[in-house]
């Protein structure tokens, strides 16, 4: 697998979702894989600090988990989400299905649980070893040497590998070390909105307080709350608000301005209808959780020669609004594994991997940004809802010819940029069709009016 035909040695930095899946795939190919993770073993319990604790898995993620033989045994850890339930003050709950077929659904899972399942699976490969509590801190990018430090003790060790993989998330140290001093592209955009987590607990008898098999959305002009269900009938809510006040919009609260229990209670009661009933200790929970940042990262190159390469959030962190961060990170792993199988550990393999993925993850970053507006504003807009219904109706009529963008992104593995191009073509047709129908109706009405006048 190396140019001289030896069994390759791979060092993976980060045993998160992408790092541990990649360990399975490369271990299975016969690489000797060492995975270094600065945190503790996810199987020891406890949630990773500052992380969203549950995630939606869709078709791309399912495909990757199937590829390593995991998906079929995972049902007990999953809650199916059959669509969105929209909560609006004074209105009944509204259900918007995710698709037209029973299998077109998403699945909610605790991040830690998924991480533990992946690490367990990877350890079944004889040549895969995990090293928890080791932080990747120095890199010799040409020589393939990685130095690790034990946080707290300062203990150090250096390992050599044919390939070093940075699967160390949005603020990747491998990326920084790999790019240091080179002419590279790097852009990070922090959203001016952040998030805090709340929990909707189950009832004392263990039943759910609100329909459980859905993603719940509380859209509002002044904030947004999204909730994923858990297997114990609780739901984890993400409360999104601007970080700071905007002098141009004095009626828009922010995390900075919501500083008293009274202000929090009054804001949630006005904007988010039934949420205060579902979370009776809302203010306590609100102040107990930190505010987290959301970031989009675009960068290039994703690799250094044939020695170092990035996967997942390390090369394309995105806002979470399309629920595709992990799903696309898993797709990276499949593509990288395939390129290494085809070309061995070589610059061609790493360059081919980047070329096959980057145009699509760039598009995904834009889609994820746009879906923030969709969730916050458009799901309440009757015209937008009509358009979405027309999109679904056309898909039911001609499933092969017409595919809504959401379906292509979430329920298929059509590459993201191809899906967007196709949706843009369909959008033009829909706009053109609606305009033709309006003109046609006006002409028919005018003819009828003329006939009536004699």
**Residues forming the site for ligand FAD (CB under 6 A):** 13-19, 36-39, 52, 55-56, 135-136, 167-169, 173, 195, 238, 312-314, 320, 323-327, 329
Whether omega for the bond prior to residue 301 falls within 30 degrees of 0, making it cis, is yes
Q: Is 108 or 352 the residue whose CB approaches ligand FAD more closely? A: 108
Complex with ligand FAD: residue 16 or 253, whichever CB lies closer: 16
Q: How far is the CB of 47 from ligand FAD (least distance, A)?
A: 12
In 141-282, DSSP assigns E strands to: 145-149, 156-160, 163-166, 185-190, 193-200, 215-220, 223-229, 235-242
Measured from the CB atom, the residue of 195 and 268 that comes closer to ligand FAD is 195
For ligand FAD, give the closer residue by CB, 293 or 381.
293
Distance of closest approach, residue 134 Cβ to ligand FAD, in angstroms: 7
Q: How many residues in the chain? A: 454
From residue 36, give the alpha-carbon distance in Å to each of 53, 108, 147, 167. 22, 27, 10, 10
Of the CA atoms within 13 Å of residue 181, those in its CB half-sphere come to 3
CA distances (Å), 42 to each of 16, 24, 37, 113, 132, in order?
9, 16, 10, 8, 9
- Tell me whether strands 156-160 and 145-149 are parallel, antiparallel or unpaired: antiparallel
Packing angle, helices 325-343 and 59-67, rounded to 10 = 40
Q: Whose Cβ is closer to ligand FAD: residue 14's or residue 301's?
A: 14
Beta carbon nearer to ligand FAD, 312 or 404: 312
Strand partners, 132: 37
Q: Cβ 314 to ligand FAD, closest distance in Å?
A: 6
The residues, ordered by sequence, that sit 6+ positions from 126 with a Cβ below 8 Å of its Cβ are 27
For 203, counting Cβ atoms within 10 Å of its Cβ (0-12 exposed, 13-18 middle, 19+ buried), the class is exposed
CB of residue 105 to ligand FAD, shortest distance in Å: 13
Q: Any residues with CB less than 8 A from the CB of 332 and at least 6 apart, and which?
A: 18, 311, 312, 315, 353, 357, 361
Nearest-approach distance from CB 36 to ligand FAD, in angstroms: 5
Token pair recorded at residue 220: 């509002």
Residue number, 237 or 349, with CB nearest to ligand FAD: 237
Query: What is the DSSP track for 389-435?
Result: HHHHHHHHH-TTT---HHHHHHHS---HHHHHHHHHHHHHHHHHHHH
Decide whether 296 or 426 has the Cβ nearer to ligand FAD. Answer: 296
161 vs 345: CA distance, rounded Å: 11
Instruction: Quote the least distance from Cβ 149 to ligand FAD, whole Å.
Output: 9
Q: Determine the residue with CB nearest ligand FAD.
A: 16
| CB of 394 vs ligand FAD, minimal distance in Å | 27
Least distance in angstroms from the C-beta of 231 to ligand FAD:
16
314 contacts 295 by C-beta, under 8 angstroms = no
Q: How far is CA 252 from CA 53, 255, 257, 376, in A?
A: 28, 10, 9, 14
């Amino acid at each position: 697998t190396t140019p001289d035909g030896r069994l390759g040695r791979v060092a993976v930095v980060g045993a998160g979702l992408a790092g541990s899946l990649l360990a399975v795939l490369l271990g299975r190919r016969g690489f000797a894989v060492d995975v270094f993770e600065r945190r503790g073993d996810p199987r020891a319990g406890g949630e990773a600090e500052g992380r969203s604790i549950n995630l939606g898995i869709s078709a791309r993620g399912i495909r990757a988990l199937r590829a390593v033989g995991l998906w079929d045994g995972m049902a007990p850890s999953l809650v199916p989400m059959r669509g969105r339930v929209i909560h609006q003050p004074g209105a009944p709950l509204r259900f918007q299905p995710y698709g037209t077929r029973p299998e077109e659904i998403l699945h909610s899972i605790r991040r830690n649980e998924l991480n533990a399942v992946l690490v367990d699976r990877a350890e079944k490969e004889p040549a895969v070893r995990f090293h928890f509590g080791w932080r990747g801190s120095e890199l010799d990018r040409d020589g393939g040497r990685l130095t690790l430090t034990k946080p707290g003790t300062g203990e150090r060790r250096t390992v050599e590998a044919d390939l070093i993989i940075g699967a160390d998330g949005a603020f990747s140290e491998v990326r920084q070390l790999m790019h240091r001093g080179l002419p590279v592209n790097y852009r990070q955009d922090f959203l001016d909105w952040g998030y805090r987590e709340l929990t909707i607990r189950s009832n004392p008898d263990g039943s759910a307080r609100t329909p459980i098999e859905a993603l719940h959305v509380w859209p509002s002009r002044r904030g947004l709350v999204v909730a994923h269900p858990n297997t114990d009938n609780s739901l984890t809510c993400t409360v999104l608000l601007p970080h700071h006040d905007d002098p141009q919009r004095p009626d828009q609260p922010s995390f900075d301005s919501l500083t008293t229990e009274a202000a929090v209670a009054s804001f949630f009661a006005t904007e988010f209808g039934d949420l205060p009933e579902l979370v009776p200790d809302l203010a306590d929970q609100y102040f107990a959780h930190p505010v987290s940042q959301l970031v989009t990262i675009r960068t290039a190159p994703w690799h250094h020669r044939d020695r170092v390469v990035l996967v997942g959030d390390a090369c394309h962190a995105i806002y979470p609004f399309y629920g595709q961060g992990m799903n696309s990170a898993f797709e990276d792993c499949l593509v990288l594994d395939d390129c290494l199988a085809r070309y061995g550990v070589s610059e061609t393999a790493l360059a081919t991997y980047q070329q096959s993925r980057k145009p699509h993850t760039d598009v995904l970053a834009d889609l994820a940004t746009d879906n923030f507006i969709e969730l916050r504003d458009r799901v309440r807009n009757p015209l937008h809802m009509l358009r979405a219904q027309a999109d679904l109706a056309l898909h039911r009529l001609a499933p092969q010819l017409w595919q809504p963008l959401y379906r292509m992104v979430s329920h298929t593995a059509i590459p993201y940029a191809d899906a967007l191009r196709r949706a843009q073509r369909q959008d033009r047709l829909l706009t053109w069709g609606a305009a033709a129908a309006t003109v046609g109706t006006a002409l028919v009405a005018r003819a009828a009016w003329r006939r009536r006048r004699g």
